[in-house]
Amino acid sequence: MLSKNLVSELSEEQLDELLAYTPDFTEKNLENIKMLSLKKLDSPEIPRRRTLSMRKVIAMAAAAIIILATSTGIFAASGGLEHFLARFNPSFGEFAIAPLYPAYAEDQGIRIEAVGAQHIGPVVLVYVIMQDISGENRLTRHMIPAIDIYVDGQIINGPSTSSPLNFDSSTNTVYFEMRIHDETGMPRADTLDLIINEIWCLEHTGRIQTPFTGEWQITVNTSDLGIQPITWTDVEAGNLSIEHISVNPFGVHVVGTHTYGTRPRGSDPVLSEVSIEFDNRWFNTRLVNGGLFGYDNRFYVFFFANSPIDIDAVSAVIVRGERFQVP
């Protein structure tokens, strides 16, 4: 049975290996380092050393302190994803994955940090913290980072929604939940690149100011949760011919044509007439318009849900009174 005192059990070679780790690892990775060392202690190929020089003990203790101090310092503003979710309880937090490594960037005295992300179907979810670390308290509750999300070097183009969750005036920090819908249907990615070149200020008059410009680039990881969106392709009902319907936990995506007559671009009749039926019960999913494109009789629309959609319980999607049953 291994001794609880890991320091006294390490061989000279093991200690050198541990000290070779840089202080850029997270606290979770430090636990992995410990487990690796413990496994090596059980291996008969590596002799155990029961005593260590004081120099080695002090050096290893110093390295551990640096590792812990660095990792916890990076997440000091957020407390990590679990703390973030516990504090704000955002609706879609159950799907978010914490970064494997610290995911933040600093420029212009502004730190932007991603504490969680996910990619399911055509939608990317990110939880972001923005803080003025200059001490000048230049941020307000109306400011938002203009985030472009890239997958394998390709930008995601589509409607998005951003929900400011909190503004902490004492630390000049703004907390966000953001979702963006990908129109091209690119495959799920293990990592996402968040690129921010502007920070906007959304005024009550509807105007958008740009008080900050800079270069913030953040890489975050996702995880395959095994959630497959429900999809319909090439279906017709009434005056609608649907090329594609997709339902995922974040919202509903509909593409098709109609015969209700031609209308100006952006005024398609399906704009506010999409709902979901769960287990043969009508239910308004509290959808908010995330984006509409239409010309003549063609339309593309994506609705963001205000709360997660239980896709296992979906029995149909209703578009302008026409029912499309789950295939």
How far is it, in rounded angstroms, from Cα 220 to Cα 151?
11
User: Domain range for residue 90?
Assistant: 80-221
Q: Same structural domain for residues 200 and 115? A: yes
Assign residue 287 the CATH number of its domain.
2.60.40
Residues 6+ apart with CB under 8 A from 262: 296, 297
Q: Same structural domain for residues 158 and 108? A: yes
How far is it, in rounded angstroms, from Cα 37 to Cα 24?
18
The domain boundary residue, chosen from 178, 193, 221: 221
User: pLDDT tens string for the chain (327 positions)?
Assistant: 333 344 444 555 555 554 454 444 444 444 454 455 454 444 444 333 334 444 444 444 444 443 443 444 444 445 688 888 888 888 899 999 999 888 999 999 999 999 999 999 889 999 999 999 999 999 999 999 999 999 988 898 878 888 889 999 999 999 999 998 887 667 888 999 999 999 999 878 778 899 999 999 999 999 988 888 898 889 888 888 888 888 999 988 888 888 776 555 545 555 557 888 888 666 655 566 555 555 667 777 888 888 899 889 999 888 878 888 888
DSSP secondary structure of 279-296: TTEEE---EEEEEEEEEB
How far is it, in rounded angstroms, from Cα 314 to Cα 206?
37
The pLDDT of residue 288: 60
The pLDDT of residue 295: 60
The domain boundary residue, chosen from 221, 247, 267: 221
Pairing status of strand 251-258 against strand 274-278: unpaired
Q: Same structural domain for residues 248 and 289? A: yes
Q: Same structural domain for residues 84 and 144? A: yes
Tokens 């309880």 — which residue? 89
Provide the number of structural domains found in the chain.
3
Tell me whether residue 1 is in a domain: no
Q: Same structural domain for residues 146 and 195? A: yes
For 211, phi then psi, to 5°, come to -75, -20
The pLDDT of residue 67: 40
The domain boundary residue, chosen from 74, 103, 124: 74
How far is it, in rounded angstroms, from Cα 155 to Cα 149?
6
Q: Same structural domain for residues 152 and 60? A: no
